[in-house]
Chain A
Amino acid sequence: MARARLRVAVGLLWLLRIGAFVLLFAPIALVIAMSFGGDAYATFPPRSWSFKWYLNVFRRDEFASSFLTSLTVAALVTPISVGIGTLAAYGLWRRPGATARALESVFMSPVLLPLVVTGLAVLVFVNRVGIGTGIPAIVGAHVAITFPYAFRAVLAALGRYDRRLDEAAASLKVRPFRTFWHVTLPLIRPGIVAGAMFAFVMSFDDFAATIFLIAPDTRTLPIAIYQYMEFNLDPTVSAVSSLLVVLATIGVLVVERVIGVDRFFGIGDSTR
Chain B
Amino acid sequence: MTGSRAPALDSRLLLLPALLVFAAFAAALLDLLSWSFHATGRIGAAPSGELGLSVYARVLSDPLYLSALATTLRLSAVATAGSLLLGLPIAFWIVRTPSARMRATLIILVAVPFMTSLIVRLYALLLALGNNGLVNRALQATGVIAENDFIPLIRNETSVAIGLVYFVLPFVVFTLAGSFKRFDRTLEEAAANLGADELVVLFRVTLPLMAPGILAAGTLAFVLAGTAFATPLVLGGSAVRMVANVIYDQALFAQNLPVAAALSAVALAFTIACLWLAGRLGRWGSNA
Binding site for B on A (CB under 8 A): 2, 5-6, 9, 13-14, 16-17, 19-21, 23-28, 30-31, 34, 42-45, 83-85, 87-88, 90-92, 94-95, 103, 106-107, 110, 112-117, 120-125, 127-128, 143-144, 147, 151, 163, 166-167, 170, 176, 201, 204-205, 207-208, 211-212, 221-222, 225-226, 229, 237-238, 241, 244-245, 248-249, 251-253, 255-256, 260-262, 265-269
B184 close to chain A: CB less than 8 A: no
Those 8 A-B pairs whose CB atoms lie nearest each other, nearest first: A91-B14, A114-B227, A27-B124, A88-B18, A208-B229, A125-B28, A20-B86, A248-B115
B234 close to chain A: CB less than 8 A: yes
A–B pairs, 10, beta carbons within 8 Å: A2-B197, A19-B86, A20-B169, A25-B109, A28-B121, A120-B260, A125-B31, A176-B7, A225-B119, A261-B111
Stretch from B56-64, B144-152, B245-253 forming part of the interface with A: B245-253
Decide: A116 near B227, CB < 8 A? Known: A2-B199, A28-B124, A94-B10: yes
Bound: A125/B251 CA distance, A: 13
Q: Is A267 a contact of B107 with CB atoms below 8 Å?
A: yes
Bound: A238/B134 CA distance, A: 14
Give chain B's interface residue range (CB within 8 Å of chain A): 35 or more
Q: Is B108 a contact of A256 with CB atoms below 8 Å?
A: yes
Q: Which of A13, A205, A221, A261 contacts B107 (CB 8 A)?
A: A261
Number of A-B contacts (CB under 8 A): 271
When distances are taken between beta carbons in the complex, the residues of chain B under 8 Å from A83 are 17
Decide: A222 near B118, CB < 8 A? Known: A106-B22, A121-B28, A237-B123: yes
Decide: A144 near B25, CB < 8 A? Known: A27-B127, A128-B31, A167-B1: yes
When distances are taken between beta carbons in the complex, the residues of chain A under 8 Å from B110 are 24
When distances are taken between beta carbons in the complex, the residues of chain A under 8 Å from B113 are 24-25, 28, 248
Contact residues of B: prevailing secondary structure: helix
Q: Is A44 a contact of B108 with CB atoms below 8 Å?
A: no
B87 close to chain A: CB less than 8 A: yes
Bound: A44/B129 CA distance, A: 11
Bound: A85/B18 CA distance, A: 7
Q: Is A42 a contact of B169 with CB atoms below 8 Å?
A: no
Q: Is A95 a contact of B29 with CB atoms below 8 Å?
A: no
Question: What is the distance, in angstroms, from A218's C-beta to the closest C-beta of chain B?
Answer: 16
Decide: A88 near B17, CB < 8 A? Known: A167-B1, A205-B118, A225-B123: yes
Instruction: Write out, one digit per residue, whether chain B residues 180-214 have a CB within 8 A of any chain A CB (1) or not (0).
Output: 01000000000000000111001000000000000
A201 to B, closest residue via Cβ = B115
Decide: A24 near B10, CB < 8 A? Known: A114-B271, A208-B230, A253-B108: no
Q: Which of B29, B127, B248 contacts A116 (CB 8 A)?
A: B248
A94 to B, closest residue via Cβ = B11
A23, A26, A28, A114 — most chain B CB neighbours (10 Å): A114
Question: What is the distance, in angstroms, from A31's C-beta to the closest C-beta of chain B?
Answer: 4
When distances are taken between beta carbons in the complex, the residues of chain B under 8 Å from A222 are 117-120
Question: What is the distance, in angstroms, from A101's C-beta to the closest C-beta of chain B?
Answer: 14
B89 close to chain A: CB less than 8 A: yes
Question: What is the distance, in angstroms, from B12's C-beta to the closest C-beta of chain A?
Answer: 7
Q: Is A248 a contact of B134 with CB atoms below 8 Å?
A: no
Decide: A121 near B32, CB < 8 A? Known: A31-B123, A249-B112: yes
Bound: A215/B262 CA distance, A: 25
A5 to B, closest residue via Cβ = B199
Given A112-B268, A241-B124, A267-B103, 4 other A-B residues pairs in contact with their CB atoms under 8 A:
A23-B165, A44-B132, A107-B22, A120-B260
Q: Is A91 a contact of B118 with CB atoms below 8 Å?
A: no
Q: Is A244 a contact of B14 with CB atoms below 8 Å?
A: no
Q: Is B197 a contact of A6 with CB atoms below 8 Å?
A: yes
Q: Is B104 a contact of A124 with CB atoms below 8 Å?
A: no
B282 close to chain A: CB less than 8 A: no
Q: Which of B1, B93, B234 contacts A163 (CB 8 A)?
A: B1
Q: Which of A23, A42, A252 contacts B86 (CB 8 A)?
A: A23
Q: Is B115 a contact of A251 with CB atoms below 8 Å?
A: yes
Bound: A31/B113 CA distance, A: 12
Q: Is B247 a contact of A117 with CB atoms below 8 Å?
A: yes
B267 to A, closest residue via Cβ = A114
Bound: A252/B13 CA distance, A: 35
Decide: A262 near B244, CB < 8 A? Known: A123-B251, A225-B123: no
Bound: A69/B272 CA distance, A: 34
A24 to B, closest residue via Cβ = B113
Bound: A204/B119 CA distance, A: 11
Decide: A24 near B229, CB < 8 A? Known: A5-B199, A94-B10, A248-B116: no
B95 close to chain A: CB less than 8 A: yes
B73 close to chain A: CB less than 8 A: no
